[in-house]
Amino acid sequence: MLLQKKIITAKQKLEHISKSSISFDTNKGLPLFISDSLPDKFGTELFSKYLEKEGKSYRDLTPLEKLSYIGNRGMGALKFLPAKHEKGSIKLINL
């Protein structure tokens, strides 16, 4: 009986925490840990220039399309599939 009461109390506490304390903030419609993979200001400038050469606009892409361009080349542990590039299709440029 005591164990059952503790389980019910723990469940009530978890429900209270999930309703009030846990934040599900988003950035550009994505969870924060995913939107953090999007390019920063400098990366956005480079990405925009690349897209212009391809005849596309950075502003026209959805956040998910931007992540698909990142594919498995991002700085963090996440990779995004399907990637919008073919293996070996990326040209390196001198900065």
Q: Is residue 78 situated within a structural domain? A: yes
The 10s digit of each residue's pLDDT in 65-81 is: 899 888 888 887 888 88
For residues 69 and 37, is the Cβ–Cβ distance under 8 A? Answer: no
Q: Is residue 45 situated within a structural domain? A: yes
Q: Is residue 86 situated within a structural domain? A: yes
- Strands 26-27 vs 30-31: parallel, antiparallel or unpaired: antiparallel
Residues whose CB falls within 8 Å of the CB of residue 50, separated by 6 or more in sequence, listed in order: none
Q: Is residue 4 situated within a structural domain? A: no
Provide the terminal-to-terminal Cα distance of the chain, rounded to the nearest Å: 70
Q: Is residue 27 situated within a structural domain? A: no
Q: Is residue 70 situated within a structural domain? A: yes
In the chain, the number of structural domains is 1
Say if residue 32's pLDDT is above 80.
Answer: yes
29 vs 18, which has greater pLDDT? 29
Q: Is residue 68 situated within a structural domain? A: yes
Over range 25-51, report the average pLDDT: 87
Q: Is residue 1 situated within a structural domain? A: no
For residues 9 and 17, is the Cβ–Cβ distance under 8 A? Answer: no
Domain region containing 77: 37-95
